[in-house]
Amino acid sequence: MRFLKETDEGVDKVCEIMEEFVAKREARAEARGEARGEARGEARGEKKGRLKTVISLLKKGKLSEAEAADEIGMTLEEFRNNMEACTTLQ
């Protein structure tokens, strides 16, 4: 223990070990963050795609607003707000 605390070589070795530890930890954290971000993006994309499909069916008269909202798991009010936002972006 004295070697690690009291010699330049020991201190350098401890610093090297800590730098490797921190680098590995940062890499794992970054990978987890990317995976979470990808999952969120995919979920948003899927939701937006379902919403566009349901809006298309609604415009063709194949579904009522209530049926469309139910189909994608929203209240009628949520559906109307999302439909409005979605059609504004087109």
Domain boundaries, the chain: 2-89
- Does this model's pTM top 0.75? My answer is no
Give the pLDDT of residue 51: 83
Give the pLDDT of residue 83: 76
Q: Where does the chain show beta strands of DSSP type E?
A: none
Mean residue pLDDT of the chain comes to: 87
Which amino acid is it at 50? R
- Per-position b or e across 53-69, b if 16+ CB within 10 A of its CB: ebbeebeeeebeeeebb
Give the pLDDT of residue 88: 59
pLDDT in tens, 4-46: 778 888 888 999 999 999 999 999 999 999 999 999 999 989 8
Give the pLDDT of residue 85: 73
